[in-house]
Amino acid sequence: MSRSERDATRIVRLWLEEGATALPDRVLDAVLDQLPATPQRQPFRLAWRTPIMNNTVRLVAAAAAVVVVAVVGYQLFIAPSVGGPDASPSPSVPAATAAPGDTAGSAPGEFTACIPANSETQAGTDETVVVQHPEGDMTVERRRGFTWAGAISATDERFSGRHHLSWDGDQYTLASGDPGPTVAAEGIRIENDQGAWQGGSTYVELPDGTVAGGMMVLTGEGAYAGLEAVMFGTDGPCFLDWRGVVIEVPAIPVPYTGA
């Protein structure tokens, strides 16, 4: 005779009541003993603060600074004599003194931006999936659609206004239970009365805490059309701190293959 579903459920529940209910002290002691040697993984957003400034990035930043100095110098000392006082203002590169409160000693075109502690406007989804791997299946915390919005202030007023930030990330855990890499992509839009900036970046965080990538490339709109900015996360007192430059970013060259 077949048992009713309710009867079967009741038996399963009773059966599940059997078993250990107390964690032995030695297990708990072992856990607590290992805490000092087990570093905590910081929240994803901290990855924004510590991108690697590898040699390539340093080279790009240095080249950008040279370009900015050259163009600003041209505009200040050469262009007025060429174009005369009626020359229309070019949006291509900002003057170093564009922002009130600009940091003394900063490079021309450089700015810092701060997003203060703000509320998460959309929590997004959080799903655990298993990914097959030859060395053992990995589990992935797949987070999608996390967004923030609120005020942003910058030493360059063109980057002050309201921001919209979106973030997606995958955090891998190896079959052994050890942490794997985290890969993430983020997009940002900054809007104010004059125009807007939009861009994004990707980054990878390795299990040893090394973070690579995370450099935002922003394209200007409205009054900022024709401008581009590069910025990266840095340490600071805000929820998110950025440092960047407004530059003309060269197009990515076609790789030379010898042809």
Partner 1 sequence: MDTDLVVQAQRGDEEAFASLAVAVGNRLHAVAHRILRDLDLAEDATQQALLNIWRDLPQLRDPARFEAWSYRLLVRACYAEARRTQHWTPGLQLVEADEPMSDASASVADRDQLERAFRRLSVDHRAVVVLHHYLDMPLPEVAESLGIPMGTARSRLHYAMRGLRAALDADARPASREVAR
Sequence length of the chain is: 259
Task: Report how many residues bind partner 1 under the rule CB under 8 A.
Answer: 51
CA distance 18 to 4: 22
Of residues 154, 176, 169, the one with CA closest to residue 201: 169
CA distance 204 to 50: 11
Q: Between residues 14 and 259, which has the closer beta carbon with respect to partner 1?
A: 14
Beta partners for residue 165, in sequence order: 148, 188
Sequence-separated (6 or more) residues with CB below 8 Å from residue 221: 195, 196, 197, 198
Kindly state whether residue 144 participates in binding partner 1, applying the rule CB under 8 A.
Answer: no
What token pair was written down for 154?
A: 């910058």
Answer for which of 87, 92, 116, 137 binds partner 1 (CB under 8 A) is 137
Sequence-separated (6 or more) residues with CB below 8 Å from residue 190: 152, 159, 161, 162, 163, 196, 197, 198, 218
Answer for which of 44, 48, 197, 242 binds partner 1 (CB under 8 A) is 44
**At its nearest, how many Å lie between partner 1 and the CB of residue 47?**
11
In the window 12-31, what residues touch partner 1 (CB under 8 A)?
Answer: 12-24, 27-28, 30-31
Contacts 24+ apart (CB under 8 A), 200-206: 203/47, 203/51, 205/47, 205/181, 206/181
Beta partners for residue 109, in sequence order: none
Binding mask 159-188 for partner 1 (x = CB under 8 A): ------------x-x-xxx-x---------
**At its nearest, how many Å lie between partner 1 and the CB of residue 53?**
24
Kindly state whether residue 32 participates in binding partner 1, applying the rule CB under 8 A.
Answer: yes
**At its nearest, how many Å lie between partner 1 and the CB of residue 225?**
37
- Residue 67: strand, helix, or coil: helix
**At its nearest, how many Å lie between partner 1 and the CB of residue 126?**
6
CA distance 69 to 52: 25
What token pair was written down for 234?
A: 């840095």
State which H helix or E strand residue 163 sits in.
strand 161-173
Binding mask 94-133 for partner 1 (x = CB under 8 A): --------------------------x--x--xxx-----
Kindly state whether residue 42 participates in binding partner 1, applying the rule CB under 8 A.
Answer: yes
**At its nearest, how many Å lie between partner 1 and the CB of residue 70?**
44
Q: Between residues 54 and 128, which has the closer beta carbon with respect to partner 1?
A: 128
Q: Between residues 2 and 81, which has the closer beta carbon with respect to partner 1?
A: 2
**At its nearest, how many Å lie between partner 1 and the CB of residue 25?**
10
What's the N-to-C CA distance of the chain in angstroms?
Answer: 80
> Can you give the binding site for partner 1, defined by CB under 8 A?
1-3, 5, 8-24, 27-28, 30-32, 34-36, 38-44, 120, 123, 126-128, 136-137, 139, 141, 171, 173, 175-177, 179
